[in-house]
Amino acid sequence: MHRVDARLSVLLFAVSITPMTINGTAQTLPVRTIPARTLPTPATVSPEMQKLIAPAWDGSTAAVSKTTEQWKALIKQTDEPEAKHAESLATQLHVSVKEETIAGVRVYRVKPETIPAENRNRLLVHVHGGGYVYFGGMAATGEGILMAHYAQTEVLSIDYRMPPDFPFPAAVEDSVAVWNEVIKQHTPRNVALFGTSAGGGLTLAVVIRIKELGLPLPGALMVGTPWSDLTKTGDTYYTNEFVDNVLGSLDGSLEAAAKLYAGTHDRKEPLISPIYGDLSGFPPTILLSGTRDLFLSNTVRVHQKLLQSGVHADLLVFEGQSHAQYLEHDAPECAIALGEVAQFFGRNLDR
Amino acid sequence: MHRVDARLSVLLFAVSITPMTINGTAQTLPVRTIPARTLPTPATVSPEMQKLIAPAWDGSTAAVSKTTEQWKALIKQTDEPEAKHAESLATQLHVSVKEETIAGVRVYRVKPETIPAENRNRLLVHVHGGGYVYFGGMAATGEGILMAHYAQTEVLSIDYRMPPDFPFPAAVEDSVAVWNEVIKQHTPRNVALFGTSAGGGLTLAVVIRIKELGLPLPGALMVGTPWSDLTKTGDTYYTNEFVDNVLGSLDGSLEAAAKLYAGTHDRKEPLISPIYGDLSGFPPTILLSGTRDLFLSNTVRVHQKLLQSGVHADLLVFEGQSHAQYLEHDAPECAIALGEVAQFFGRNLDR
């Protein structure tokens, strides 16, 4: 019955709402009101995921204004428990983590206990999430440890420089500098690049940049719920606002992180918001999101742009999950998600 | 910053909400409240799609109770304009539509003006949407006409019997009967099966049934925003309730259609709600949905179940779209969506 309803709606719309200015520079688009609703915890996910989905978002949409010292204190407070979590994950999964320096950038070499023959010449280069502000140091490694475990492949996790001292483009420059060294030791098509959230956006930005520089590209990408647009552009910034219990809203601390990272740069620059970049010629890419994810539009917009650019791109959307909840190792959905990524790397990387 | 927030939320949850009964038969899961919100029309879709997205849902969640005669009157009233729309679409796209009977079932043979050599031995078998109640007769052919045009391939659209006179399993039986004749004339791996909404669910149900019967399977499937679960199970039945401006809610006319179709059968039977069926051994499948789609969970649950069953399955989720809006030919997103489906058939069907 969808067509009839839709056409009827268009008709009602045409007579009841002032015409839109949709092609001018100042767009005046209609706004709809959605009533308050109750959301049950879905019965269609694991009990462990239900525990993660059930709580309401506990953040605030109030504007954030901090001094440099206040930022540093907040970052320290955020990163310390995350670093401890990463250490305990490494112990639990028998994954080793060793700090190194490559091209002057701190990195962590993350190795699973056993590496099957087909993965011995492969490497997965990781850029962490955390809004381009958080998860420096050992906190950078959590996702890398999980991936080393599930993909049974060595991971190199880049601890790129971050604000307040080092805003954009430090994160891109550090990652590109490491890439430039990695390809001296490895066949580029044996190497994947991956990350989630800010790390997903950074994965895209780094590939745009190494294309510009004429460097060889990775063999495959995982782009997890990428922060591909740092402006409030994209439908699920609104439809999943407050529905997502991890990010809640762009307004508040996420917006503050975007401003701190962009610094004096326009947030629509392609190396900051890669949805505005040229994605043609990209390597095979797998994208991940969830039905409640504030970044679902950030994810599907990139997926469609990749497909329309002729790139092989696979999309996974997980039932009921808010932002990046597929990285929650306590739920069996984590093994499913990263298992699918591992298979994608297995199919698309050379050996 | 996602992990810290999530863990903090879990902690808060643990102390503030009564423990869930999640493994018992009677599940008591927590419910969250989402405040009333405003949704702007997304700037990230075409002006034509904006016109479709902007209006509020104009339906009702009130329970529907009708006599057989009232159902028939409503169906006639719904199908007549849809049939006219299909006829005008056929004229506009230079697609011919010819009525035939196969295995006692009325079908429409839908042919584009030109068919390239690689598609001459191919056939796309279509089962229409319309909640298993609407879009009988010529109204069945709209999606088939679009697909014939965009895939430049002959389409056979099945006008399966429907309630109130012919509830489940008539739709499945008619479609299987036609399939049994089609495979006498065509190499099965040259033939795709496709549909949207109820047609997406029916596509899955028909393949489950022909597997049970030991008949050869199609070479590929398109499963568009499938009604894979006719009970109110799945997260986006709630998160996208009223956000989707085509279906609005399962409550009301959609629920009435589900009851009318299922008749005396349990709505969780796999041939009615195919998410509960065995999807192993399925042919390569492409699935379509939108970020506002009430059936986004119906779609991604099937996608994940196919992947976990070892089936090649591709997912497309379109920015800002409610249920099945990719079939709205006035918007350029229709050509993009069906173009991607055509490419998928091109890659996966034999010739």
Higher pLDDT, B296 or B7: B296
Backbone angles phi, psi at A124, to 5 degrees: -115, 115
pLDDT at A269: 98
Where do the H-state alpha helices sit in B194-309? 198-212, 236-239, 253-262, 296-308
How far, CA to CA in Å, does A56 sit from each of A273, A284, B12?
28, 36, 9
- Distance (Å, whole) CA B3 – CA B11: 12
Whether residue B304 and residue A336 make contact (CB cut-off 8 A), yes or no, is yes
- Helix (H, G, I), strand (E, B), or coil: what is residue A274? helix
Whether residue B300 and residue A317 make contact (CB cut-off 8 A), yes or no, is yes
Nearest residue on chain A to B75, alpha-carbon basis? A1
Whether residue A235 and residue B319 make contact (CB cut-off 8 A), yes or no, is yes
Backbone angles phi, psi at B317, to 5 degrees: -125, 120
Q: Tokens for B46? A: 């075409």
Host H or E run for residue A305: helix A296-308
Host H or E run for residue B344: helix B332-348
Q: Contact A244/A318 with Cβ under 8 angstroms?
A: no
Whether residue B51 and residue A1 make contact (CB cut-off 8 A), yes or no, is no
First-to-last C-alpha distance (Å) of chain A: 50
Buried b (16+ CB within 10 A) or exposed e, B50-74: bbbbbbbbebebeebeeeeeebeeb
Contact list in A for residue B238 (CB cut-off 8 A) is: 37-40, 42
Q: Which residues contact B350 (CB under 8 A, 6 or more apart)?
A: B187, B189, B190, B219
Q: Contact B105/B159 with Cβ under 8 angstroms?
A: yes
Residue in the block written with tokens 């955020």: A78
**pLDDT tier at B28 (50, 70, 90 boundaries)?**
confident
pLDDT at B27: 55
Q: Residues A277-328: pLDDT tens digits?
A: 999 999 999 999 999 999 999 999 999 999 999 999 999 999 999 999 999 9
Q: Tokens for B243? A: 């956000």
Cα angle A332-A326-A193, degrees, rounded to a multiple of 5: 125
Q: How far is A41 from chain B (nearest CA, A)?
A: 6
Q: Which residues contact B8 (CB under 8 A, 6 or more apart)?
A: A58
- Distance (Å, whole) CA A171 – CA A195: 13
Residue A27, pLDDT > 60, answer: no
Q: Contact A193/A218 with Cβ under 8 angstroms?
A: yes
pLDDT at B19: 38
pLDDT at B288: 99
Q: Residues B89-131: pLDDT tens digits?
A: 999 999 999 999 999 999 999 999 999 999 999 999 999 999 9
Buried b (16+ CB within 10 A) or exposed e, A253-273: bbbbbbbbbbeeeebebbbbb
Q: Contact A316/A263 with Cβ under 8 angstroms?
A: no
Cis link prior to A164 (omega < 30° from 0)?
A: yes
**pLDDT tier at A29 (50, 70, 90 boundaries)?**
confident
- Distance (Å, whole) CA A217 – CA A125: 12
- Helix (H, G, I), strand (E, B), or coil: what is residue B315? strand
pLDDT at A297: 98
Whether residue B34 and residue A242 make contact (CB cut-off 8 A), yes or no, is yes
Interface A–B counts its CB contacts (< 8 A) at: 305
Percent of chain A with pLDDT over 90: 91
Taking residues A189-211, what's their average pLDDT? 98
Whether residue B59 and residue A5 make contact (CB cut-off 8 A), yes or no, is yes
- Listing DSSP states for A109-165 in one string gives EEE-S---GGGTT-EEEEE--STTTS--GGGGGHHHHHHHHHHTS-EEEE----TTT
**B290, β-bridge pairs:** B318
Q: Contact A327/A334 with Cβ under 8 angstroms?
A: yes
Nearest residue on chain A to B143, alpha-carbon basis? A3
Q: Tokens for A212? A: 């510009």
- Distance (Å, whole) CA B105 – CA B107: 6
Buried b (16+ CB within 10 A) or exposed e, A57-70: bebebeebeeeeee
Higher pLDDT, B247 or A18: B247
Taking residues A326-348, what's their average pLDDT? 98
Whether residue A33 and residue B30 make contact (CB cut-off 8 A), yes or no, is no
Q: Which of A52, A243, A318 shows the shortest C-beta gap to B34?
A: A243
State the pTM of this model: 0.94
What average pLDDT does chain A have? 93
Which residue in B7, B32, B343 has the most chain A C-beta atoms within 10 A of its own C-beta, making it the best mutation to test that interface?
B32
Residue in the block written with tokens 């796309």: B124
Residue A102, pLDDT > 50, answer: yes
Radius of gyration for the alpha carbons in chain B, expressed in angstroms and rounded = 21
- Helix (H, G, I), strand (E, B), or coil: what is residue B221? strand
pLDDT at A17: 37
Host H or E run for residue B233: none
